[in-house]
Structure 1
Amino acid sequence: MRLLLKILITVIYLSLIERNIVAQDYYTPIASYSFDNDSAVDEMVNSVINLYNQASLYNDSQRGSVLRFSAESKSYAVFNKKLLDSDSCSISFFFYWESNNASSWHQLFELHDPDTNNNLFFTPQNGWGNNMSSVISDNKEYSNYEALNARPIVKNTWLHVAITFADKLATIYVDGEEVSRGYIMFTPKSVQTNSLYLGGNPNRSNNYYMSARLDDIKIFNKSLSANQIQALARETQIPAPENNKTRWETAGNPIQIEIDITDKKQTIQNFGSSDGWNAERIGKYWPETKKEKLAELLFSSEKDAHGNPKGLGLSAWRFNIGAGTAEQEEASRITQEWRRTECFLNADGKNYNWNKQAGQQWFLKQAAVNYNINHIIGWQNSPPVLYTDNNLGFREYGAAMSTILKQEYFDDFARFLAEVSKHFKNEGIKIDYISPLNEPQYAWAPSEVGGNVSQEGTPWTNQEIHDVVVAIDNEFTKQNIDTKLFISEAGSISYHIGGTGHASNQLDNFWNQNSTLSLVGTPSFSNIVSYHSYWKDFGSALESERKTFLDQSLQLDPVPMAWQTEYSLLGGGYRDGYADGYVLTEMECALSLSKVLMADLNVANTTGWQWWSTFGQGKHGGESRFALIEALTKNDNSDGDYHLNKLFYTLGNFSHFIRPGMKRVSYTRSDNLTISEETSDIIYSVYTDDNEKKLVLVGANYTNEAIESKILLKGVGDKRLQNAQLYLTDEFANLSKQEFDFSSNNLIVPALSVITYTADISSNISANSFLKVPEFKAYYNKINNDIIVRFKENSSLKEIRLYNTTGNLLSVNPISKGLREMTIRSSHLVQGVYLLAGIDGVNVSTTKVMVSSH
């Protein structure tokens, strides 16, 4: 029956092609091999498939004539051209894996470039012990190896398999069901070859051949949707695509969110990220146009023509002031070359080479000069190695748990930082802050005598921190350096609020004026207490540790500002609520980030928040954990490629809209959820500007249902929200502006998403807000479909605004000096009553006008 159905569908399909009545070219494959009539002919007449080493047509009892390969004969087929050749393509086929000679790493189809040895292939079973099927991308030019794993492919059974590529998003389907989806850096377009191999590849190992049967091979130059793949699996006509998209349908009653814009909390200083460590290679070697695009993506606070953000709008950039381990090369004993840093100070300890760190300086200049962002922060993992124990950028195994900076070089280190600050200021780049130490609580040592480490680092005792800050302050004061210092980049917020270790209880030690280690009042010492959100990023610690930190901070005089200065998905906290072994999607990783951001802002009252590494070399274990931009550089440094993941876009929901100087304000919710309960429901963080003219609300929905909220302003008299906009990041949207009806002040936050809601806060324009002596008159001119506005002599009005009766602003019409009459086109308006508001900068005069049918 199935064979008969297949023949019937093929005949009908070919008949439709002959009669030219296939619905759209979009659904037509660029290659189609049904192998009917014992023929390996492309029904699309676009390609030729050549069979080698006893690859042959075979009469299968279920599917009739099919293509068959033998592992023993090393048989394979090859197309005469590369058909999977773009970042938007699909391959579909029926597959029967014979159990004889079956093991791991067979390549069912493969793209292979013999010149570079780059390849992309599908294997029904990998060899990593979990026996999963996989799409594997192995790009030798970038030393990049990625796998998208799916469930195992069973043997001796006909299955339908399809793989789609949409930009960098690859999806695997088995029998019409999506079994895996994920982003890979290099898709078919990146493999420069003229061929597509099936069943094996003579240019590769003999171990990769397989015994299998293929039928109904179809290749498309589009990424097909799930319902289209289902049609291929069922062998029915391919329908129009039903692309997955954001669902706005809500469940349950709306939550009432009451915002008090007069109850102001902390003032935001910045949102930022750092250049450690991959910015050096990118900034030094990548093509200029690609680097400029990256700079725009990071620093632009502008919108494009469609109203979407051009970039994150970062307002802080962390510049790593290097220690000189790069010049030491392998003698540095830092295993990963890209984590070694150059140093401006030469080995003679006297002269400086300001051409060092050229790649990092490229991004520094973009941030400070071209985009003029708010804060430039210089930070260090290690002092210059010529000042350290054993001239290394880390602590030796077994050494005392104290700084590697030799005591006799504290003043020299201070002069080094002063010289760095002066140089960049002369270059037009002001380093606003320097962070001279990082995570002083940790050992930063190898695990054995003479061993290697993965990066620079040094512990510091509280006493040493005090002493080095005093030394730097003395030098900065003497040289009139206006760069400020902040400390201590604590490895976790816990190290500020208690403990008895060498670098614990730091909030009380450094910011309590009664402490012997107090740095309060030191001229160069900024009143900023910094910590990292690692380890306390899940469960009850999200609230309890930050609340204790805030409570203790508020007892100090003066109260310090809190900055969270380094976070990524380092520990296991981001996995809270997920099963062991489960690989989180990009959006799930991003939602974990949003929980920490919300806790730092809403509970700890942070005024600055900075991500760890801007650029990272791909994913980690298949997850987006450490980088906002997954960026890879070619081994020959000639070029690079990058991917913006959901961490990038989610940070943008905060950084692009919550601008420096904005103040967080309080809100209450009608369901009375606690802060801890919000982390499994929906969380908001709300901001306004100094003049209370703007409102920014960021929301993160952690549930599987869209949630509706009604936004209300508390205690603001006649003020109301107008010109509302909504920006969404979820599985389908990337910080993109949404079309949404806000006429009832209701806000919908889709499932598993982060949104930003923005609105103007303005006086309530209504039919009841007339001035006793209006300064203008208006009437509707039905003949010309115009509203005519006439002004009193010597009118002080600056503009006329047109509203509908729900208060939505329709147009703003400036009034030139001496103007006595204005015409406002109204042909586009529906019949009804409209409000005209005359505004002189202080007062508002309004009147109504009736627009009748045109």
Structure 2
Amino acid sequence: MVKKTILGRKFPSNIILRKRFIATKLCRKLFFLPFLMLIVTGCSVDNDNEEVGFNQDVENNDAKFSTSLEASSSSVTINWNNEKQTIQGIGASDAWLSDDIENHNKRNEIINRFFRTDGNNIGLSILRQRIDPNVRPDSNTWLWSNPKFKANAWVANQAKNRGVNKIWASCWTAPAWMKTNNSKTDGGKLKTENFSDYAVFLSEYVKRMKNFENVDYYGISPQNEPGYKTWESMIWDYGKLKDFIADDLTWRMNAAGLGSTKIFYPEETRWGDIDNEKWKLTSSDIQNNVDIICGHSYGPISFEDYSNYGKPIWHTEYWIENLQEIDGAIKLGEYIHKYFVQANVETFHYWWMVTNHPSKLNGLIRLDGSTNYTIYKTFYALGQFSKFIKPGWKRISVSNASPYSNIYISAYKNNNNSKVTIVAVNNSSQSQDVDINFNGFNSSLTPYRTSGSENLDEKSSIPSTSSMIVALPKKSITTFTGSASESSPLPPTGVWLRLKNRESGKFAYLKSDDSNRLRGNGQGSGNAAYWMFLDAGNGYYKIKNQSTNGFAYSKNNDSFRIRGNGAGASDSAFWKPGIVNGNWFKLTNKENGANMRFLNSDNSRLRADNNSTNNSAQWVWELL
């Protein structure tokens, strides 16, 4: 038997790249899998409640799928038509260190490392900067020649010249003279009489960058970590920051011609502290004056989803603490996965681009004086995402996204549906083979990997396929990226499902005391509400009822009502699924070309109604 090698492992050719049309197992025929119901027993949840265990998908919105087939427990499915949030970018900060970068002998090489995408560069798409309070030392002075202000402008323009279009800034503290402790450090609060002065300071800083330095900030955060007081910092009472934004900052930004500059809030230290009760996220002041809800992920790591507050959600800072090199790098990959998949964030930011600390991983690159530099593994780990996932890309659903303990898989597609990127993180101490299926698309892929011995290394390409088995080495991140072409998804066979109608919001079931006719207003419980698709060839399927073991068919001499006790031998029992939009589909009968319809006026019975062009809710179904 011919052998093929994928990512350093050899497999028989017939189990590595299997075309969907010849696949026979259930996991090769996945149709609208994000809407299938997973019934799981014996699943485990880790101690931190960060990720569910085997056979479960971490996404609350993604339904789960399992069967008795052994392959299903480890199979992963990428669902092309189930789109999630739009990614705005991945970035890092040059706070306090922009002048170190500007003055380094290899500054252009370092800048290229961060913002170009060729070679082993990582193509960051966002730059976060620090608003320097030293440009306003007293109420009568502006020091626009301040070296760090000028260095900020230099780094920002270098990033912009390499394609970065989202450059934004956080402020750690107001100038000392505006604060109760008369110091830029150790907390202190903004004096009430200086609220307006602080708004002027922020707006003038942004305007100066735009008009004199050619840097148009995408947005600003008026306070970094508003409850933390050690280094440069300023403490806010919860309601005061809200009031400052609504009553002072928004007005001042508009008056300065900066109304399009976005306001970030509350930029908390701990992700779990971005709390509505605390920060009044649903208040009219915030809803009307704040553009982006954001925060950091220090302290107890958590992955709450705040997208229900009606604003874009940005992750804006994190750095790996107390972990060195490969362990820290792969843990970073795990956290990026979880913030995108569980918290549904639109961005992820590492803390420092560069560090001058000799031992900590608080930067992606360590500057060794002004002549040399050292690249940390975290640089490449971040690059496994940032190099390939660009602003405007959409995350797409992955069913069974954690098929084994400490394995995490996420997927993304570009905005014209021509490219796909799949990122697989293995944070375990052993290699693992993973079966990945593509639902609704085919793709030819090039893998890139970071591990203990690899740094974004390109691997052998994978020809166009609809499924693959990949070997993920221990402590590694592997990114598969390439072109994609949409294909028709196939329904699953050999598993019991429910059919939910869009109009009724309820389920198709067989009513035995109504001559086995189908109705569309069931609760989805009991064998009469469960159906199995069986391949009948040429895109058609028979739909078997669990209660009768008979098949759904259109009965012509009963006003085309559908019954569920047929023998499944004629065209009247053959149905072809077709996508309507997104998550919904229609079922077309082979014999009469009509579509399965929920008809409320006929005691909620189902008919094969001869209206093939109607996409209204009565004709539209979802598999669960």
Shorter-chain TM-score tier: 0.5 to 0.7
The yes-or-no answer on 1:394 pairing with 2:171 is no
User: 1:429 and 1:313 mapped to 2: Cα distance?
Assistant: 19
> Per-residue deviation at 1:764?
6.8
Q: How many aligned positions are there?
A: 419
Q: 1:750 to 1:375 in 2, by over 3 A?
A: same
User: 1:459 and 1:758 mapped to 2: Cα distance?
Assistant: 44
CA contact (8 A) 2:354 2:367 kept: yes
Post-superposition CA distance 1:697-753 (Å, at most 9, x none): 111012233322333222x2xx4212x100010111111211244566333222210
User: 1:586 and 1:438 mapped to 2: Cα distance?
Assistant: 28
> Per-residue deviation at 1:422?
1.4
SS of structure 2 residue aligned to 1:510: coil
> Per-residue deviation at 1:681?
2.7
The yes-or-no answer on 1:560 pairing with 2:311 is yes
Alignment match, 2:300 = 536
Equivalences for 1:251-270 in 2 at 5 Å? 255-270=74-89
CA contact (8 A) 2:153 2:209 kept: no
Post-superposition CA distance 1:616-654 (Å, at most 9, x none): 12443xxx5311001132xxxxx3321111000000000
Alignment match, 1:713 = 438
Which consecutive segments of 4 or more residues in structure 1 shift more than 4 A?
249-254, 740-744
Q: 1:272 to 1:521 in 2, by over 3 A?
A: same
CA contact (8 A) 1:511 1:560 kept: no
Q: 1:663 to 1:681 in 2, by over 3 A?
A: same
Alignment match, 1:758 = 481
The yes-or-no answer on 1:412 pairing with 2:143 is no
Post-superposition CA distance 1:662-692 (Å, at most 9, x none): 11111123xx857xxx5x4310110012222
Q: 1:647 to 1:439 in 2, by over 3 A?
A: same
Alignment match, 1:458 = 234
CA contact (8 A) 2:76 2:399 kept: yes
The yes-or-no answer on 1:315 pairing with 2:161 is no
User: 1:363 and 1:668 mapped to 2: Cα distance?
Assistant: 41
The yes-or-no answer on 1:277 pairing with 2:50 is no
Equivalences for 1:273-422 in 2 at 5 Å? 273-283=92-102, 285-287=103-105, 290-301=106-117, 303=118, 308-309=119-120, 311-323=121-133, 343-347=134-138, 349-357=140-148, 358-368=150-160, 370-395=161-186, 404-422=189-207
CA contact (8 A) 2:334 2:427 kept: no
Q: 1:632 to 1:387 in 2, by over 3 A?
A: farther
User: 1:743 and 1:416 mapped to 2: Cα distance?
Assistant: 55
User: 1:742 and 1:440 mapped to 2: Cα distance?
Assistant: 51
So what's the TM-score if we normalise by structure 2?
0.63
Q: 1:752 to 1:266 in 2, by over 3 A?
A: same
> Per-residue deviation at 1:277?
2.6
* Corresponding letter in the other structure for 1:269: Q
Q: 1:673 to 1:627 in 2, by over 3 A?
A: closer
SS of structure 2 residue aligned to 1:376: strand
The yes-or-no answer on 1:492 pairing with 2:270 is yes
SS of structure 1 residue aligned to 2:352: strand
Q: 1:619 to 1:747 in 2, by over 3 A?
A: farther
Structure of greater relative contact order (alpha carbons < 8 Å, 6+ residues apart): 2
User: 1:595 and 1:704 mapped to 2: Cα distance?
Assistant: 14
User: 1:286 and 1:599 mapped to 2: Cα distance?
Assistant: 35
Pick from 658, 664, 671 the counterpart of residue 395 of structure 2.
Answer: 664
User: 1:462 and 1:346 mapped to 2: Cα distance?
Assistant: 27
Which consecutive residues of structure 1, in runs of 5 or more, have no partner in the other structure?
Answer: 1-245, 324-342, 397-402, 446-454, 499-503, 538-544, 573-583, 634-638, 770-854
> Per-residue deviation at 1:468?
1.9
> Per-residue deviation at 1:497?
3.2
CA contact (8 A) 1:249 1:706 kept: no
Equivalences for 1:681-700 in 2 at 5 Å? 681-700=406-425
* Corresponding letter in the other structure for 1:483: T
SS of structure 1 residue aligned to 2:135: coil
* Corresponding letter in the other structure for 1:479: A
Alignment match, 1:430 = 216
Equivalences for 1:56-135 in 2 at 5 Å? none
Equivalences for 1:506-545 in 2 at 5 Å? 506=279, 509-513=280-284, 518-522=285-289, 525-526=290-291, 528-537=292-301, 545=302
So what's the TM-score if we normalise by structure 1?
0.47
Alignment match, 1:735 = 456
Alignment match, 2:345 = 606
User: 1:320 and 1:247 mapped to 2: Cα distance?
Assistant: 44
User: 1:606 and 1:673 mapped to 2: Cα distance?
Assistant: 19
> Per-residue deviation at 1:346?
4.5
User: 2:115 and 2:196 mapped to 1: Cα distance?
Assistant: 35
Q: RMSD of aligned C-alpha atoms? A: 2.7
The yes-or-no answer on 1:640 pairing with 2:363 is no
* Corresponding letter in the other structure for 1:477: N
Alignment match, 1:467 = 243
> Per-residue deviation at 1:467?
2.2
* Corresponding letter in the other structure for 1:532: H
User: 1:367 and 1:414 mapped to 2: Cα distance?
Assistant: 27
User: 2:472 and 2:270 mapped to 1: Cα distance?
Assistant: 32
> Per-residue deviation at 1:512?
4.0
User: 1:534 and 1:761 mapped to 2: Cα distance?
Assistant: 37
User: 1:268 and 1:673 mapped to 2: Cα distance?
Assistant: 21
Alignment match, 2:446 = 725
User: 2:402 and 2:129 mapped to 1: Cα distance?
Assistant: 40
Which consecutive residues of structure 2, in runs of 5 or more, have no partner in the other structure?
Answer: 1-6, 13-69, 489-537, 539-624
* Corresponding letter in the other structure for 2:300: K
Q: 1:673 to 1:689 in 2, by over 3 A?
A: closer
Equivalences for 1:114-263 in 2 at 5 Å? 248=9, 255-263=74-82
SS of structure 2 residue aligned to 1:700: strand
Q: 1:279 to 1:256 in 2, by over 3 A?
A: same
Equivalences for 1:440-455 in 2 at 5 Å? 440-442=226-228, 444=229, 455=231
User: 1:643 and 1:457 mapped to 2: Cα distance?
Assistant: 30
Alignment match, 1:630 = 366
> Per-residue deviation at 1:415?
1.1
Larger Rg: 1
User: 2:486 and 2:343 mapped to 1: Cα distance?
Assistant: 33
* Corresponding letter in the other structure for 1:261: W
Post-superposition CA distance 1:251-294 (Å, at most 9, x none): 997942211111111100111101123332332x322xx10011
User: 1:553 and 1:258 mapped to 2: Cα distance?
Assistant: 24
User: 1:359 and 1:352 mapped to 2: Cα distance?
Assistant: 14
SS of structure 1 residue aligned to 2:154: helix
> Per-residue deviation at 1:410?
1.1
Alignment match, 1:505 = 278
CA contact (8 A) 1:749 1:755 kept: yes
User: 1:372 and 1:530 mapped to 2: Cα distance?
Assistant: 24
Q: 1:741 to 1:350 in 2, by over 3 A?
A: closer
Post-superposition CA distance 1:46-67 (Å, at most 9, x none): xxxxxxxxxxxxxxxxxxxxxx
Q: 1:531 to 1:660 in 2, by over 3 A?
A: same
